[in-house]
Structure 1
Amino acid sequence: MLSQKTMDIIKSTVPVLQVHGTQITTVFYSNLFKAHPELLNIFNHANQAKGRQQTALSNTVLAAAQNIDKLETIIPVVKQIAHKHRSLMIKPEHYPIVGEYLLKAIKEVLGDAATDEIIQAWADTYGVIAQVFIDIEKQMYEESATKSGGWSDYKEFKIIKKIQESDVITSFYLAPTDGSSLPAYEAGQYITIRLSIPGEKFLFNRQYSLSSASNKEYFRISVKKEASVENPDGKVSNYLHTDINVDDTVEVTVPAGDYTLIKEESPIVFLSGGVGITPFMSMVATIAEEQPNREVNFIHSARNGAIQAFNEELIGIKDKITNLQLSYIFENPSDEDKLNPFFKKAGYIDSEWLKENTIIKDAHYFVCGPVSFLQTVIKGLKNNGIDDAHIHYEFFGPAMKL
């Protein structure tokens, strides 16, 4: 769809994008929101404030340039982003706006180096890539609207139960206000919730993993309360913890995401850090219902037992799975923490501990947690000979480079 000349020009811009990519995307978002402040009702303000969205977009643009002659190789990443777009209600009409301000940002940052020929090549390329997203997302929108129990756009849900799981994690049970049944979802998927906060001009969107097995009555999300409301990450989580109560309402989109449970019979190892445990609660509960004889190794790392969520629930699930090994690793365990029968280690997970406790022939390894946790665990698994195809990991928020 692109000429060889256009692809050659795009390839020639790779070194510049490697140096100036994040600067370009930072200028892009700044100018975009000045011209179209209504888009702040869609974008995550915390990811913008911390620069995560700018970096993620820069990585995506760079990957597109590097693979412009074989775009099929980045389709898995495109689909992952498309899930997030569908969950946030990104529509075809948004793409021309984004394209306009992305090209303007390239010109603004690069100046005379961004010749008319380069800008035209990027305009042509953006058009092709945008159409790929639009086509994939069109199919996702149709699937979410037509599946049993599905809907389009946002739908009003009521909080039917609010349960404190630990010192920092609270679960919210959400049910449709119209009393309808819910669509089935894959263990590991997430929902977007949208709400307004008094005193704030724009709506807030957040994507939270579903932390229970699929059922027709409710969605459950389990939210970590961040340190303070002043922290961009903490504005919504603090509001949910302190101000949202039973019978209050939020808006929700149909579950999305491709970080989902592999349902073959091979052994599975879950390695979570902190609130990264949430998608694994959905996965292990689904295994208990559908594959109770599957070999499962569930390893969770937290600072201490006071913030170890779902202990009783995991004990109940352990009774349902024939071969489930449960291990807790606490950075600073109390004397009481050390009495927990599933406490295995003080400190951190490292390569040697992984070798002794997690290496299982043909197992699939699912990893979720803070970036530093992902870096350590994934490096440790690779050092112990685990193939990339058997390592599956999830970022909360925009995908960043490990």
Structure 2
Amino acid sequence: MAQIRVLRRMASILTTPLAPEDVLGLINPLSSSRQLRGVVTKVVRETPDSTTIHFRPGRGWNPHAAGQWARVGVEIDGVRHWRSYSLSAAAGHDPAITVTAIGVVSTALARDTKTGDILFLDTPQGDFTLPEHPRPLLMLTAGSGLTPVMSMIRTLVPRRPDADVVLIHSARTPADALFHDELLELADQFPGLTVKHWFTRDSGTDAPARRLDLSDATDLETLCPDWRDRAAYACGPAEFLDAATELWLRDGHDDTHENLTIERFAPALLPGTGGEGGLVTFEKSDKEVEVGGDVSLLDAGEGCGVVMPSGCRMGICRSCLTPLVAGKVRDLRTGEVHGDEGELIQTCVNAAAGPVHLDI
């Protein structure tokens, strides 16, 4: 250990004013003891608005399980922004994210990312993963909700001859459907995969275009008659998932809701939790804004130009924790009003309940 300390001191002298790891970072951008990084190896346009970004992570990355997500950081105009994205690559392969150009950060990633770019990373997380034991599966997805399920399909179907997977995917048109051609090719190649596309605007046929109706079991019975006997995974917009949850609870067998696993891209907010709102003051940034009781503190800060820490933006990763200086906040998921001086507040799922001062 003494020899290692001597070597480190010698390296520091030789690289002053930079730290040794900073010099190493100039040689190998993935080498950093401070921040996990990845280099973009391939960029694939999936649809007019969606792009898959393949990357090779540096040391410290944990291999992902199919269906997990990871926080990804990207610098825009000199400011690092963090967002959470599902990993769409098969487990055991270098990771990839599939990003749809919605919002400033996702649009920058989808439109501007090039091979050789550096992404800032956090390790994979999430329990939206394949069941431990083989069983018939139903994958119910809409829009970009297909991305974690695509990782599952790519992982399971080619490797397990006993796989039995039915995918029902809802998209606006065939051109908007993520991985459309690849899924049809996989279904042709592997008998254990059945793919049913549902198009809400234009199917390219004379069939009427409408939303997949989950208010009762009629559409689901037509697409997958044995849906009650399958372990189901659902991912997509909040209304889609809410309808699926209600259907499983109402029309499935008594215990079928336990066979429905949900992955949400936004927090499940309690209806009517918005209160009076208030004036939010961001003390270090010297900014303030008057907001309603249904506006998260994270959105309030970003709306007035404050650089807010964030990650999943749905109350899971706790990357947005910010000290409360004064005031009370309302949890948008439960309606609970809380707040003590110095308390760390999840700004993505809390709103102002009167005047609020944040230490940022």
Regarding TM over 0.5, the answer is yes
1:279 aligned partner = 148
Matching residue within 92, 95, 112 for 1:215 = 92
Is the alpha carbon distance of 1:199 and 1:249 closer, same or farther for their aligned partners in structure 2, counting shifts above 3 Å? closer
Matched, 1:243 2:112: yes
What letter matches 1:222 in structure 2? T
Equivalent residues in 2 for 1:153-232, closer than 5 Å = 154-176=35-57, 183-198=62-77, 200=79, 203-216=80-93, 218-226=94-102
What letter matches 2:184 in structure 1? I
Gaps of 5+ in 2: 1-31, 272-360
Is the alpha carbon distance of 1:364 and 1:152 closer, same or farther for their aligned partners in structure 2, counting shifts above 3 Å? farther
How high is the TM-score relative to the length of structure 1? Answer: 0.54
2:192 aligned partner = 323
User: Where is the helix percentage greater, Structure 1 or Structure 2?
Assistant: 1
Aligned pair count? 234
Give distance in 1, aligned partners of 2:163 and 2:270.
Answer: 32
Is the alpha carbon distance of 1:160 and 1:372 closer, same or farther for their aligned partners in structure 2, counting shifts above 3 Å? same
1:357 aligned partner = 223
Q: Which is worse superposed, 272-281 or 310-319?
A: 310-319
Give distance in 1, aligned partners of 2:89 and 2:134.
Answer: 21
- Matched-pair contact (CA < 8 Å) for 1:271–1:367: yes
Is the alpha carbon distance of 1:152 and 1:327 closer, same or farther for their aligned partners in structure 2, counting shifts above 3 Å? farther
- Matched-pair contact (CA < 8 Å) for 1:293–1:321: no
Spell out, residue by residue over 1:231-257, the C-alpha distance to the aligned partner (whole angstroms, 9 max, x if none).
xxx110111122221111111111111
Is the alpha carbon distance of 1:399 and 1:308 closer, same or farther for their aligned partners in structure 2, counting shifts above 3 Å? same
Is the alpha carbon distance of 1:366 and 1:401 closer, same or farther for their aligned partners in structure 2, counting shifts above 3 Å? farther
Matched, 1:259 2:128: yes
Matching residue within 264, 278, 296 for 2:165 = 296
Spell out, residue by residue over 1:331-350, the C-alpha distance to the aligned partner (whole angstroms, 9 max, x if none).
11153xx39xxxx8731222
User: Where is the strand percentage greater, Structure 1 or Structure 2?
Assistant: 2
Q: Give the deviation of 1:390 after TM superposition.
A: 0.5
Give distance in 2, aligned partners of 1:154 and 1:399.
Answer: 31
2:209 aligned partner = 346
Question: Which has the higher relative contact order, 1 or 2, with Cα contacts under 8 A spaced 6 or more apart?
Answer: 1
Matched, 1:308 2:177: yes
Is the alpha carbon distance of 1:295 and 1:401 closer, same or farther for their aligned partners in structure 2, counting shifts above 3 Å? farther
How high is the TM-score relative to the length of structure 2? Answer: 0.60
Matching residue within 236, 243, 246 for 1:376 = 243
Q: Give the deviation of 1:323 after TM superposition.
A: 2.6
Give distance in 2, aligned partners of 1:212 and 1:319.
Answer: 20
What letter matches 2:83 in structure 1? R
Aligned partner of residue 157 in structure 2, secondary structure: helix
Q: Give the deviation of 1:376 after TM superposition.
A: 2.1
Spell out, residue by residue over 1:317-342, the C-alpha distance to the aligned partner (whole angstroms, 9 max, x if none).
2244323211111111153xx39xxx
Q: Give the deviation of 1:305 after TM superposition.
A: 1.4
Give distance in 1, aligned partners of 2:235 and 2:33.
Answer: 29
Q: Give the deviation of 1:311 after TM superposition.
A: 1.3
Give distance in 2, aligned partners of 1:214 and 1:369.
Answer: 21
Give distance in 2, aligned partners of 1:345 and 1:393.
Answer: 29
Spell out, residue by residue over 1:288-317, the C-alpha distance to the aligned partner (whole angstroms, 9 max, x if none).
133232211101001111211101221232
What letter matches 2:222 in structure 1? E
1:366 aligned partner = 233
Q: Give the deviation of 1:396 after TM superposition.
A: 0.8
Q: Give the deviation of 1:152 after TM superposition.
A: 8.3
